[in-house]
Amino acid sequence: MAGGRGAVMRFVQLRGAVPAILSGFRVAAPNAVLGAILAEFGGGGRWGLGAYLLGSLGRGEPARLWGIGLTATLIAGLSYALFSAISARMLGASRAVTLNPAAPPAPVAGGGLWVAAVSLILPFALWWGVLLALQVPGMIGKTPWDVFSYLFLAEGAPEAQARLLAALAGTLPITALGMAAGLAFAFGLSVTSQLVPSFTRAFLPVALVTQTMPLVALTPLLVLILGRGSAVTLAITISVTFFPAYVMITQGLSQVPRSVLELPRAYGASAWNELRLVAIPASLPWVFAAVRTTVPRALLGVMIAEWLATGRGLGNLMNQSRGYMDFSMIWTVAVVSVLLSVAFYQLAQIVENRVTLRRGS
């Protein structure tokens, strides 16, 4: 109808993206509470739950510690409930009657190499520019060239490479395992929420506790229960990763049009067969969106566990470097972590594109 890009965005894309936007709000609500507490925890302020938490850790008062966690959980739960109510109200006002084929977008003609080059160079240019703009001292703020020189040109480069590779060998396997476990847990919980909704409603408060209680407070309790081995790392990684994936997958399952489910119901299919044959395949775009969201968070969860509990891997290497004031290694670990997260994300994107093409062919 001769509509421009603005009209397409306003009348089609934004409206079609309402379910995903509302899912994002539900994921962001607990994370916002956690982010505020962590900012207060490390910002040196006098007020707020984060400052109160810091004092409780210093005094070794577990009762106050649990009180702070439960208060944060209550705030996050109310925020989650608010956006859930908005989602139910908005999405319940109409019913989809067709399936989104989720075909991959057509490639843009021309400019592919140029766009790729700019995408590769821009982050490093911004990194360098921010350091210059803020006038960060060279001893603390390392530029991309400083990191490259530290790893490959400096006299101690072989030792730095050996330490980094040893840390990677400890982090990468547990990251893959934790990512798979977190996604499997989220998928199983999402399917259960469709088959046994009462179970999910009972479990949700426990899930919110794991999302809002700061890990610096939760980790010592997990260490006492699970020890300092791989079990505590998996527990922390699952805690960090499963909730966003669960929200997205559940939203995708709930958005399957009723008309699509009428055929298996007419043939007497069970609720499980409806999910297996219709709902799960129809919600694959949401599942892959959950995978892309979870992949970087899995690495974050593993590094947090290594930092606070296990004393191994990239998280421990960063913690040791902080103690030795080895700022070059701190920046190196940060850069490697970002590159790994981007690589995992792109790998998930490639798998999604191949599966989507296979389904569409």
Both tokens of residue 237? 């990684």
State how far the Cα of 117 lies from the Cα of 185, in Å rounded to an integer: 38
Both tokens of residue 286? 């949401």
Both tokens of residue 145? 């060239």
Query: What is the CATH topology of the domain spanning 142-361?
Result: MetI-like fold (1.10.3720)
321 has pLDDT over 80: yes
State how far the Cα of 316 lies from the Cα of 173, in Å rounded to an integer: 15
Sign of the dihedral defined by the CA atoms of residues 242, 224, 320, 166, in that order: negative
pLDDT computed for residue 99 by the predictor: 45
Instruction: Kindly list the domain boundaries of the chain, sorted by start residue.
Output: 15-87, 142-361
What's the average model confidence in pLDDT over 138-161? 90
In the structure, what pLDDT confidence band is assigned to residue 152 with cuts at 50, 70 and 90? very high
pLDDT tens column, 249-269: 887 887 777 777 777 877 888
Query: What does 41-58 look like in DSSP terms, one character per residue?
Result: HHHT-SSSHHHHHHHHHH
Both tokens of residue 330? 């701190």
Between 155 and 90, the higher pLDDT residue: 155
Q: Select from 181, 280, 198, 292 the least CA-distant residue to 244.
A: 292
State how far the Cα of 265 lies from the Cα of 163, in Å rounded to an integer: 58
CA 353 to chain centre: 20
What pTM does this model have? 0.72
pLDDT computed for residue 238 by the predictor: 85
pLDDT computed for residue 103 by the predictor: 45
pLDDT computed for residue 328 by the predictor: 92
160 contacts 147 by C-beta, under 8 angstroms: no
pLDDT computed for residue 293 by the predictor: 82
Distances (CA, A) of 340 to 117, 184, 216, 296: 19, 21, 24, 8
